[in-house]
Amino acid sequence: MTTRLCKVTAVLGALAGAAPAAAETVLHILHINDLHSRIQPINRFDSTCTAEDDAAGACFGGVARVATAINQRRAALTAAGQNVLVLDAGDQFQGSLMFTTYQGAAAAEFMEAIGFDAMVAGNHEWNNGPAGFAHFLDQVNFPVIAGNLDVSREPAVADLLGDTLVLDVNGIQVGLVSALATDTAETSSPGPNVIFTDEIQSLQADADRLTEAGVDIIIALTHVGLPDDIRIAQSVTGIDLIVGGHSHTYLSADDPDRDGPYPTWVANPRGRMVPIVQAYAYSKYLGHLEAVFDDDGYLLRATGNTVLLDASVTPDPQIAARVAELAGPIQATMAHVVGQTAKAIQGDRAVCRVMECPMGNLVADAMLARVRDQGIHIAIQNGGGLRASIDTGDVTMAEVFTVLPFQNTLATFQLTGADIIASLENGVSQVEDGAGRFPQVSGMRYTWDPAQQPGSRIIAAHVNIDGTWQAIDPETTYGVVSNNFMRRGGDGYALFRDNGIDAYDFGPGLEQVVAEYIGEHSPYTPYTDGRIAEAR
């Protein structure tokens, strides 16, 4: 890769005399983001699909479908004389046992097989430190960039990770600038030698440099999330369009359930409209943007959509066969014993959706223990996210996945006491229906009255601060950990989504956190302690 990046630099230096893009230049961009190791097909909960469900046509995505979708579109467009780029907006790492088992090697293999043109580093690419990321970079032949990083002091990646990039697409020079979320040092493990700089300042400097070198078409390939992409579009000149990731945002041109329009248009400081695209996550969609530029490289228009990769997309047979081969050893991983439990851990839905239950305490305690040193005081887990009990004795990874099958991640945020109490009201509002929103908790305790009307059932709520129980103050802000499903408004927890401050939804997998907690406390003794009480 070192040679490739040197060639890119050489191309950049020769561009001062390059001809501008031809009139009505059309560029097709095929893109994905945040695949998060969903190498195998996924179900409607974004977790690994069973073979039976996949055969029944009930599943989505997986790299074999991604390969088919990209290869078919790229081949058809190329045959028609069109210009095509295939981009990845980061976070191939973490999210399934494919990553736990192969540590990014599977991602590298399949990205190479599909034939990506470029990728921006995501925050989770650093989960195994610079050396772990370097192993991935050594295995791919396409450029990986992150323009707002100074990696010169980190020898593991200094010669492998690029800054800007210029690609020749049928004689058209297309520049890529890039940025990675600056809080990656907190959410992942880049180490002390990787220096992050402000995204906007970095992108502006890089866009100016490419423009001065004669590059007329400039794409920002980012992993910062849609809100920051909007801020970038509003602040930086010289960028024609943004292909983003990190926030797992579902943009669509026509789906009423979308998070926003595809593309999302934002005016830059000079009044030029900049389209932003993103394609949700987990291999469920392929984004396809068609951008049209004039003779001077100015964007004239952009249209497109996210394409659902459902059962109508036939998986690439060679890649599907290789995925099946790699999945074999994972069965051994599922059989791995993570620890022991002294008694059976009750996780039945008939219990965990109506009252404090031992499984709820285990999961909530594990969540809070993982992030307590980050200023988090309270853990809230929905009872509906607990899907099974665990027998006495050895606990396998398969059992943990059976309890927590959704591949949720830890999500942290700040919330006022008033919003916490209101969220608890939501949690106990549909107990009579056995709804999954019932709140299992740690670091706090509450009393509720089922005889009262929904919305008026929480009688008291306390939080444990440094070993002392205190009534939750409506005006005070507390650190909260939940799972990403709840944090994004699932099970009626809209206040987590709407009012949560400094939210981060992409922590470690909940099943891994619980497995490690059981191991650390083995043999684990399940318990209840009255943290959830009914008024009498």
* Residue-wise pLDDT tens digits, 197-237: 999 999 999 999 999 999 989 999 999 999 999 999 999 99
- Per-residue pLDDT, 12: 40
CB 386 within 8 A of CB 359: yes
Hunting for tokens 């050489």 — which residue is that? 10
Average pLDDT of the segment spanning 141-162? 97
Band of residue 418 on the pLDDT scale cut at 50, 70, 90:
very high
- pLDDT at residue 111 in the model: 98
Which of 485, 484, 477 lies closest to 419 in space, CA to CA?
Answer: 477
CA distances from 438 to 385, 389, 411 (A): 10, 17, 18
- CA distances for 381 relative to 157, 420, 531, angstroms: 38, 13, 14
Q: Would you place residue 21 in the very low, low, confident or very high pLDDT band (cuts 50, 70, 90)?
A: very low
pLDDT band of residue 127 (cuts 50, 70, 90) is: confident
pLDDT band at 467 (very low <50, low <70, confident <90, very high): very high
What's CA 231's distance to the chain center, in Å? 20
Contact assessment for residue 526 and residue 366, using Cβ atoms and an 8 Å cutoff: no
**Domains of the chain, start order:** 26-327 (3.60.21.10), 336-534 (3.90.780.10)
Residue 447 has what pLDDT? 98
CA distance 137 to 160: 6
Answer whether 145's CB lies under 8 Å from 59's CB.
no
Say which amino acid occupies 246: H
- Report, as an integer, the average pLDDT of 254-273: 97
If you search the block for the tokens 């990506």, which residue do you land on? Answer: 116
Instruction: Tell me how long the chain is.
Output: 536
Q: Residue 103 to residues 40, 335, 338, 509: CA-CA distances in angstroms?
A: 15, 19, 19, 15
Query: CB of 477 within 8 A of CB of 501?
Result: yes
Q: How far apart are CA 253 and CA 433, in angstroms?
A: 36
In the chain, the N- to C-terminal Cα span, in Å, equals: 69
Look at residue 185 in the predicted model and tell me its pLDDT: 81
Residue 7 has pLDDT above 50, yes or no: no
Asked if 453 and 396 count as a contact pair (C-beta separation under 8 A), the reply is no
**375 vs 6, which has greater pLDDT?**
375
pLDDT given for residue 350 in this prediction: 84
Average pLDDT (370-380) is: 96
What's the count of helices (H) and strands (E) in the chain, helices before strands?
Answer: 18, 27
pLDDT of the residue at 176: 98
Token code pair at residue 451: 């005889």
pLDDT at position 413 over 50:
yes
Residue 14: the pLDDT is 37
**Does the model's pTM come out above 0.85?**
no
**Residue in this structure with the two tokens 């934002």, named with its chain if needed:** 266
